[in-house]
């Protein structure tokens, strides 16, 4: 009682206190969350990364706790904050399910943020996709257009194949909606669905067609995009849509001819977005279709001539037009117009336009080379552009434009480019220079000089094939060996960068021709100081001990040094010392070389001179196929390639080895079944004359370089092809048809031993210096001869082609036939060295002989 | 088709990212970092195009913000510059001479506007008026369902 009088009611007070405490606890537990903009402010105010991290972590922890407690009032705000945090790079995947809950909410604000979150936080690998598919299905049926819009937008962004399948029917229904806002979005959704699951295309076909009869540009452009995708997907659909070409032409015409419409105008051009899309679809429809192309020629010409070109927007349309003109079966006049547009682009001040021009010219250079040649100087200017993208394009285009007339100027620019370019350019650029030099070099000295400059400029970024082809060229160019070796010596002595390829080539040359640089004449020397023996040895010492040089380079140097012991007179002791010091090298290869070579100075000293003799000039086997050039393959080249066996190089090298030891270093080794595609370069003749010690005949060199053919093809329009080249193809034709059989020559027996007999029957081909030799190999033993291989070599003055044999197994009393074709331009006396190998009764038999009894009158 | 669009500041801070192809988060981050570094390293006089993997990157700087799009080989890079420009115009109209801060504090609006211009990486609307109309109508819808004076506390704030 007393207590109540004093207002003390324990029960009441307990309840009040409890409630107050509960509220306080609730407030502490669930305060009004920080607003998005306050969070952004706090994060931006953080001065260090650590501070920012702590703000973010605190907020993330809080957001997680609200998610756990299913707080739906603040979910929208919390997700928005989470999306901001996500953009900063922090993990936010724990918000994925909350996004779905937002999407399921009836409020538009929630849906808007929920779908935004879904697009940002989900990708198609998530398991929640089944849930979101259901949400999307609901919203696609909403009566509010913007809710449908959000759902379509989300579907377009994150559609997985399963979602695409589940919702395709809904999208198709919406494509027929009376509401343009929904129709355009559904159109692009269908586009994405087809991209993910091409099989679903069928169901959209009927609704798609009608999109083109719209006035609304949004629906039109999405319709065109959708049709383009469909046409690119299936040839049937492509044919189906061929009939819309007139519709497209009409829409495009209306766009150009219609007056100013403020809604779709972009700096004086009417809806460039739609124009470009239509031009692209026309390209797809007109490709390889004469009729469709015919129907669009006029409108393309109109767009090309009527488009305002002072701004980027007009040029974007012209660019698309050029692409379309080049891709369809357009009239030649239209193509000239297109190339001229690109020419104008090249002179544009805007770098972007120039880049696009270079890019497109590269794609079209094979169509009209001479037109592109007119812009050569502008293209070369682009090599100096500060922009790497432009430089790369300019480089590729420059190489496509090199020909025998402009090789000197072009190479000068390209070598400067190579010297100054970044690493990524060095390998492709140097290989292309080597290729172009090989094809168009005006003379040997220029060719060698160019290769030397490449070695110096490209440093360590050279491909290996350049090293071997340079060595080969030096080897075969006897008249320039002293000159180039001196040049290489100078470059080697000056090299401070440890350029491995340069060192390898230089030491190879010095090793081979070391005596020549000591006795070089004034003509070879120019302003180079002739080195003394000691200087050379010193450099070798540096090379061999420098840790910068690779073991391969050191092997080159060691071999070369050993060779120098027979070329130099006064320094033999030092050479011997250096070589023997490698007997204890830690590198096993080098140690082996050291031990081997040391033997040559001791026990086998008498053999040294003969063993280390100068190598015979190497035969030209250039693997043109390895190096890609710009442009497409000539079809005839393609065919010949198919016939050519891949093992050609190895086989002929074996034969080269075989012949190398004997006196027949002047024999030209020819690959079996080599093909009539040897362009004869006359400049080679003079130099090679020197090589032919024994046979005093002029020697056309056969180069089987298919890579070169590509450049030839590129330049078809501008330079006349070598006569010899065309005549070779002609001969090929005559051979193939076997029309004329002028003179039959008696057969001769080339080989007859151990039951294997080889008979040649000769046949003169008309009006050429070519004789076909039909070889018949017969087996008179009682066992099978397997792995039968016939190889032949003729002097360099002749050209030999071998077709494939009829088989490799000769049964008892059976036979194998093979055809050889020998061209003898100088009507010389034919000698042929042949090598045979076969296996009989498990034993490998190898035979070798020379055939000298060819009748001479067959060449008359 | 556009594969993704990135907005970032001169300091290399990402301001907006829109992906139209599905990549794991890790890859997205790697791509973003790589492109931001490459583009920021380019000098202002260089052209707006990059060849990157099998994509063409088109970028343009507006004040302190870089807009960067990745498009496919047969897409028109010059037109992509126009798409970027159109987006900038829309932001400008919506915010009234837009600046980087507008996009930072209202990033969700920037996304909403982009979603009315592009869908699935392709252009869905070529009329500026239509885009802004759709955005305004949706903003209105949002306001209507939020009672007066409630928005400050209950909206995004």
Instruction: Please give the structure tokens belonging to residue A839.
Output: 């296996």
Residue A835 has pLDDT above 90, yes or no: no
Tens digits of residue pLDDT in A168-200? 999 999 999 999 999 999 999 999 999 999 999
Residues of B in contact with A107 (CB under 8 A): 145
Tens digits of residue pLDDT in B49-99? 988 889 999 999 999 999 999 999 999 999 999 999 999 999 999 999 999
B35 and chain A: CB distance < 8 Å anywhere?
Answer: no
Measured between alpha carbons, how far is A453 from A417 in angstroms, rounded to an integer? 12
Instruction: Please give the structure tokens belonging to residue A492.
Output: 């080697």
A280 CA: distance to closest CA in chain B (Å): 9
Residue A274 has pLDDT above 90, yes or no: yes
Query: Which chain B residue lies closest to A109 (C-alpha atoms)?
Result: B142
B143 CA: distance to closest CA in chain A (Å): 9
Q: Among the residues of A176-216, which ranges form H helices? A: 180-196, 201-209
Tens digits of residue pLDDT in A288-299? 999 999 999 999
Measured between alpha carbons, how far is A382 from B114 in angstroms, rounded to an integer? 36
Measured between alpha carbons, how far is A392 from A278 in angstroms, rounded to an integer? 31
A274 and chain B: CB distance < 8 Å anywhere?
Answer: yes
Sign of the CA dihedral running A323, A329, A333, A334: negative
pLDDT at B106: 94
Q: Which region among A39-43, A186-190, A467-471, A796-800 has the lowest average model confidence (pLDDT)?
A: A796-800
Query: Which chain A residue lies closest to B107 (C-alpha atoms)?
Result: A84
A258 and chain B: CB distance < 8 Å anywhere?
Answer: no
CB B124 to CB A184 under 8 A? Answer: yes
- Three-state SS for A755? coil
Tens digits of residue pLDDT in A245-261? 999 999 999 998 877 78
The number of angstroms, rounded, from the C-alpha of A732 to the middle of its chain's C-alpha atoms is: 32
Query: Which chain B residue lies closest to A232 (C-alpha atoms)?
Result: B74
Q: Which region among A78-92, A99-113, A380-394, A625-639 has the lowest average model confidence (pLDDT)?
A: A625-639
Residue A389 has pLDDT above 50, yes or no: yes
A669 Ramachandran zone, left/alpha/beta (phi>0; psi -120 to 50) = beta
Helix pair A180-196, A201-209: axis angle to 10 deg: 150
pLDDT at A745: 57
Q: Please report the residues numbered 99 through 118 in chain B whose beta carbons come closer than 8 angstroms to any beta carbon of chain A.
A: 104-105, 107-108, 111-112, 115
Nearest to A158 by CA among A199, A117, A198: A117
pLDDT at A535: 87
Residues of B in contact with A185 (CB under 8 A): 119, 124
pLDDT at B151: 45
B12 CA: distance to closest CA in chain A (Å): 11
B22 and chain A: CB distance < 8 Å anywhere?
Answer: yes
Tens digits of residue pLDDT in A539-560? 898 888 888 889 899 999 999 9
Per-residue pLDDT band at A349 (split at 50, 70, 90) = confident
Long-range contacts of A696-701 (CB under 8 A, 24+ apart): A697/A795, A697/A796, A697/A797, A697/A826, A697/A828, A698/A797, A698/A826, A699/A668, A699/A796, A699/A797, A700/A724, A700/A797, A700/A799, A700/A825, A701/A476, A701/A620, A701/A796
- Three-state SS for A773? strand
Residues of B in contact with A35 (CB under 8 A): 156-157
Q: A849, exposed or middle or buried, with CB in 10 Å at 0-12, 13-18, 19+? A: middle
Nearest to B19 by CA among B8, B33, B3: B3
A35 and chain B: CB distance < 8 Å anywhere?
Answer: yes
């501008």: which residue's tokens? Answer: A718
Which of A322-331, A608-617, A791-800 reaches the highest mean pLDDT?
A322-331
Residue A679 has pLDDT above 70, yes or no: no
B38 and chain A: CB distance < 8 Å anywhere?
Answer: no
Q: Which region among A111-115, A395-399, A733-737 has the lowest average model confidence (pLDDT)?
A: A733-737
A150 CA: distance to closest CA in chain B (Å): 9
Measured between alpha carbons, how far is A72 from A75 in angstroms, rounded to an integer? 5
- Three-state SS for A805? coil
* CB-based contact A77:A117 (threshold 8 Å): no
User: Across the A/B interface, how many CB contacts are shorter than 8 Å?
Assistant: 181
ipTM for the predicted complex: 0.95
Q: Please report the residues numbered 665 through 694 in chain A whose beta carbons come closer than 8 angstroms to any beta carbon of chain B.
A: none
* Cα distances (angstroms) measured from residue A188 to each of A181, A225, B114, B118: 12, 8, 15, 9
């036939």: which residue's tokens? Answer: A817
Query: Which chain A residue lies closest to B29 (C-alpha atoms)?
Result: A89
CB B111 to CB A387 under 8 A? Answer: no
H or E stretch including B15?
strand B14-19
Residue A496 has pLDDT above 80, yes or no: no
Tens digits of residue pLDDT in A578-607? 998 888 888 888 999 899 899 888 888 888
- Three-state SS for B4? strand
CB A352 to CB B47 under 8 A? Answer: yes
Residues of A in contact with B25 (CB under 8 A): 91, 93, 123
A36 and chain B: CB distance < 8 Å anywhere?
Answer: yes
* DSSP assigned state of B53: T
Q: Please report the residues numbered 37 through 96 in chain A whose beta carbons come closer than 8 angstroms to any beta carbon of chain B.
A: 37-38, 40, 44, 73, 76-77, 80, 83-84, 87-89, 91, 93
The number of angstroms, rounded, from the C-alpha of A593 to the middle of its chain's C-alpha atoms is: 39
H or E stretch including B14?
strand B14-19
Q: What is the pTM of this model?
A: 0.66
CB B104 to CB A44 under 8 A? Answer: yes
pLDDT at A28: 55
Mean pLDDT rounded to a whole number for chain A: 80
Residue A637 has pLDDT above 60, yes or no: no
CB B153 to CB A38 under 8 A? Answer: no
Q: Which of A146, A313, A355 sits opposite B141 (nearest CB)?
A: A146
* CB-based contact A798:A758 (threshold 8 Å): no
Within 13 A of A595's CA, how many CA atoms are on the CB side?
8
Q: What is the CA radius of gyration of chain B?
A: 17
Residues of B in contact with A191 (CB under 8 A): 120, 122
Q: Please report the residues numbered 42 through 71 in chain B whose beta carbons come closer than 8 angstroms to any beta carbon of chain A.
A: 42-43, 45-51
CB B78 to CB A125 under 8 A? Answer: no
């Amino acid at each position: 009682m007393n207590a109540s009088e004093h207002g003390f009611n324990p029960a009441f007070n307990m309840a009040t206190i409890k409630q107050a405490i509960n509220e306080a606890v609730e407030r502490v537990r669930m305060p009004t969350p920080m607003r998005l903009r306050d969070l952004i402010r706090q994060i931006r105010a953080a001065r260090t990364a650590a501070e920012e991290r702590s703000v973010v972590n605190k907020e993330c922890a809080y957001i997680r706790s609200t998610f756990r407690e299913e707080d739906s009032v603040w979910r929208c705000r919390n997700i928005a904050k989470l999306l901001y945090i996500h953009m900063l790079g922090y993990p936010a995947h724990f918000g994925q399910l909350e996004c779905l809950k937002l999407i399921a909410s009836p409020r538009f604000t929630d849906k808007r943020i929920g779908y935004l979150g879904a697009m940002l936080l989900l990708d198609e690998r998530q398991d929640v996709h089944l849930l979101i598919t259901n949400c999307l299905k609901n919203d696609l049926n909403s009566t509010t257009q913007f809710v449908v819009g959000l759902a379509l937008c989300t579907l377009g962004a994150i559609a997985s194949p399963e979602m695409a399948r589940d919702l395709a029917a809904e999208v198709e229904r919406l494509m027929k909606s009376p509401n343009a806002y929904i129709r355009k979005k559904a159109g692009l959704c269908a586009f994405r669905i087809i991209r993910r699951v091409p099989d679903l295309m069928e169901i959209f076909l009927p609704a798609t067609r009608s999109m083109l009869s719209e006035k609304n540009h949004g629906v039109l452009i999405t319709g065109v995009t959708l049709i383009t995708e469909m046409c690119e997907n299936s040839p049937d659909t492509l044919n189906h849509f061929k009939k819309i070409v007139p519709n497209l032409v009409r829409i495009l015409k209306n766009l150009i001819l219609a007056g100013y419409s403020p809604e779709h105008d972009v700096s004086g051009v009417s809806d460039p977005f739609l124009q470009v899309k239509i031009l692209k679809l026309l390209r797809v429809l007109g490709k390889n279709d004469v009729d469709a192309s015919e129907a669009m020629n006029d409108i393309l010409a109109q767009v090309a001539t009527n488009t305002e070109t002072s701004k980027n927007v007009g040029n974007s349309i012209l660019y698309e037009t050029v692409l379309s003109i080049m891709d369809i079966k357009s009239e030649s006049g239209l193509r000239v117009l297109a190339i001229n547009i690109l020419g104008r682009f090249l002179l544009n001040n805007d770098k972007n336009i120039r880049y696009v021009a270079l890019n497109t010219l590269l794609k079209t250079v094979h169509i009209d080379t001479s037109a592109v040649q007119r812009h050569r100087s502008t293209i070369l200017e682009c090599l100096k552009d500060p922009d790497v993208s432009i430089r790369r394009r300019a480089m590729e285009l420059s190489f496509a434009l090199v020909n025998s007339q402009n090789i000197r100027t072009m190479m000068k620019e390209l070598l400067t480019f190579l010297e100054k370019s970044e690493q990524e350019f060095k390998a492709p650029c140097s290989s292309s220079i080597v290729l172009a030099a090989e094809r168009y070099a005006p003379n040997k000295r220029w060719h060698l000089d160019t290769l030397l400059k490449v070695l110096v400029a490209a440093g360590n970024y050279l491909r290996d094939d350049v090293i071997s082809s340079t060595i080969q060229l030096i080897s075969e160019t006897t008249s320039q060996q002293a000159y180039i070796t001196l040049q290489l010596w100078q470059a080697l002595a000056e090299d401070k960068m440890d350029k491995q390829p340069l060192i390898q080539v230089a030491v190879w040359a010095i090793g081979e021709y070391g005596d020549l640089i000591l006795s070089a004449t004034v003509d070879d020397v120019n302003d180079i100081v002739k080195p003394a023996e000691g200087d050379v040895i010193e450099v070798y010492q540096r090379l061999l001990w420098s840790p910068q040089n690779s073991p391969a380079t050191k092997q080159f140097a060691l071999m070369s040094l050993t060779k120098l012991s027979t070329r130099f007179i006064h320094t033999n002791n030092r050479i011997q010392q250096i070589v023997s010091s490698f007997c204890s090298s830690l590198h096993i290869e080098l140690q082996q070389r050291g031990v081997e070579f040391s033997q040559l100075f001791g026990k086998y000293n008498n053999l040294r001179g003969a063993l280390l003799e100068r190598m015979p000039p190497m035969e030209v086997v250039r693997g043109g196929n390895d190096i890609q050039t710009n442009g497409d393959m000539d079809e005839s080249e393609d065919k010949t390639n198919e016939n050519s066996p891949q093992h050609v190089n190895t086989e002929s090298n074996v034969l080269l080895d075989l012949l190398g030891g004997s006196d027949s270093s002047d024999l030209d080794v020819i690959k079996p079944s080599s093909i009539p595609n040897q362009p004869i370069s006359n400049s080679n003749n003079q130099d090679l004359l020197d090589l032919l010690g024994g046979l005093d005949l002029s020697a056309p060199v056969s180069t089987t370089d298919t890579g070169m053919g590509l450049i030839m093809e590129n330049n078809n329009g501008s330079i006349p092809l070598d006569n010899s080249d065309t005549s070779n193809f002609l001969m090929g034709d005559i051979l193939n048809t076997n029309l004329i059989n002028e003179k039959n020559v008696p057969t001769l027996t080339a080989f007859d031993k151990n039951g294997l007999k080889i008979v040649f029957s000769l046949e003169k081909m008309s009006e050429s210096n070519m004789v076909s030799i039909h070889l018949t190999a017969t087996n008179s033993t009682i066992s099978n001869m397997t792995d039968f291989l016939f190889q032949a070599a003729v002097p360099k003055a002749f050209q030999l082609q071998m077709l494939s044999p009829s088989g490799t197994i000769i049964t008892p009393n059976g036979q194998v036939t093979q055809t050889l074709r020998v061209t003898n331009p100088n009507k010389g006396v034919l000698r042929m060295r042949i090598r045979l190998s076969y296996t009989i009764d498990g034993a490998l038999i190898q035979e070798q002989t020379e055939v000298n009894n060819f009748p001479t009158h067959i060449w008359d | 088709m556009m594969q993704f669009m990135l907005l970032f500041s001169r300091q290399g801070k990402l301001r907006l990212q829109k992906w139209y192809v599905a990549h794991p988060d890790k890859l997205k981050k790697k791509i973003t970092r790589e492109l931001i570094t490459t583009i920021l390293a380019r000098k202002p006089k260089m052209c707006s195009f990059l060849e990157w993997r099998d994509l063409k990157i088109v970028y343009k700087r507006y004040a302190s913000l870089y807009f960067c799009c990745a498009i496919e080989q047969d897409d028109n890079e010059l037109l992509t510059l126009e798409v970027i420009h159109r987006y900038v115009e829309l932001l400008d109209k919506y915010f009234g001479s837009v600046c980087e801060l507008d996009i930072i504090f209202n990033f969700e609006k920037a996304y909403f506007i982009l979603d009315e211009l592009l869908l699935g990486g392709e252009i869905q609307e070529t009329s500026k008026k239509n885009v802004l109309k759709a955005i305004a109508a949706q903003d209105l819808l949002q306001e209507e369902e939020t009672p007066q004076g409630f928005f400050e506390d209950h909206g995004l704030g």
